[in-house]
Amino acid sequence: MAKSNGQQKKTRVISRKEWEAADKSALFSELTKTMGFPLVVKAPHQGSSIGVGIVKKRSMEEFSKRMNQCFFDTIIAQKDWTKLTTRQKKNILERMLNLDEGIGFPVVLNNEQINHPADLLKALNAYLKENENAILSSNNSEDFVLIEEFITGQEFSMGIIQDEDFNIFTLPPTEIYGDIESFDFKSKYQSNVTKKRIPIDTHFDNLKKIEEQGKKAFADLGQNVVCRIDGFLTEDDRVVFHDPNTLPGMSPSSLIFKQMAEIGLNITHAINYLIRQSVVQRISEGKRTFKFRELLKVIDQNMATAKGLKRKKAAVLFGETEEDYVFAQQKYNELSASEDYNPTCICAAKNGNYYLIPMPLMFKANIEEFGQAIGSPKHAFVKSLIDKTAPIRVLYAGDVNFDVKKINESDLQTSFDQLFTASSEVEA
């Protein structure tokens, strides 16, 4: 990243061998002098921010704990273990073996792999009768830990895609904010305090800077098809990238799908893009070219056939509650993935009116973000990306509506072949 955009970011890699031989107190002192404080420690080969921690106290205990967590090691002392009841021991193992705060299964103790918590409990009881400490290691433990300086700023994540001529386009970057210390596993998947907004809350020039530097990094790093680059926008308007993902998260709630929705691709369109563009990429690399050219013909024929199917016009009707919105999101994704329906989402507002909801608004995190988006004009930067990616959208999604439109009740009854309602209240 430094070679791509000239960014200045202090980093250090420490091997397991170096860590085991080190004077850990001296190493900690050296790192805080050269890297600053706090320190960020990362397990380099994990995903979903597993094995990421911030050393916020000038404490050897915390530093060693974070380092061992990134190596996926846990040390259990005999003097502590023998004081515990069986129930307390089980509680410790349950916490330790959850990936959000521990090292996960299977584990290795004394060069023996253990696959089940009950077996681990027996093994620890026996081992700690004769040894002062037990060192547990994950079967997938790391051999290196990445140390980084702590960056203060607006944290963001940005997807990047290509068209079939390999032109590069960024998706609208998502800012992660809220009362969080770091965007770790818990804040990603188990917390309600993490909030997201598209795009980052900053001026247009900064957004353009992030777009251009992201495209350059994508090209310079030799990435293709899709990637997600995470980073920070500092208070003095510097862009600092720190995590280029060549395979971003692919769950329905993942940021990459929310960002693709902003330019008019729902989950089905996005997956079609990922498959087809991967085949185009393979052809460009000269690997099994004939096979992939034939496969591309099949994909294009299937897409053309799918576009020509006569689908039932379906309305997904929902009210202004979180439960209704979640139902509508799930039902829309289910119907849009089928060959039988062409779904449209309609909000039955509290003011008594009905509104046709454009697809991008159905990918907000919750009803609160939906409400904020529906009441705001399209951001100029997002609009610029929508315009740039029009050929990709036409190829995979066809014509896409981006505007909220009011309709009357008679149109609702006559324009759709089938209605799906989120609740009996809306249906009534």
99, two tokens: 């990936």
Q: Is the pLDDT of residue 425 over 50?
A: no
The answer to whether residue 428 scores a pLDDT higher than 50 is: no
Query: What percentage of the chain's residues is helix, strand, coil (to nearest 5)?
Result: 45, 25, 35
Residue type, 213: Q
Q: Partners of 341 in the beta sheet?
A: 312
Which residue is it, tokens 């397990």? 43
At 243 the pLDDT is: 81
Q: Where do the DSSP E strands lie in 122-238?
A: 133-138, 144-149, 154-162, 168-170, 174-178, 194-197, 226-233
Express each pLDDT in 78-137 by its tens digit: 999 999 999 999 988 888 777 666 777 889 999 999 998 899 999 999 999 999 999 888
pLDDT digits (tens, 9 = 90+) for 16-48: 999 999 999 999 999 999 999 999 998 887 765
pLDDT of residue 52: 82
> pLDDT (tens digit, 9 = 90+) per residue, 216-252?
999 999 999 999 999 999 999 999 998 888 888 888 7
- Rg of the chain (C-alpha set): 26
Model confidence over 372-391: pLDDT tens digits?
Answer: 898 889 999 999 999 999 99
Mind listing the pLDDT tens digit for each residue in 319-354? 999 999 999 999 999 999 999 999 999 999 998 899
Instruction: Determine the distance from the C-alpha atom of residue 107 to the mean position of all C-alpha atoms in its chain, rounded to a whole number.
Output: 27
Place of tokens 């070219």: 289
SS3 string, 252-301, reads CCCHHHHHHHHCCCCHHHHHHHHHHHHHHHHHHCCCCHHHHHHHHHHHHH
Q: Cα 313 to chain center, whole Å?
A: 32
What's the pLDDT score for residue 412?
Answer: 83
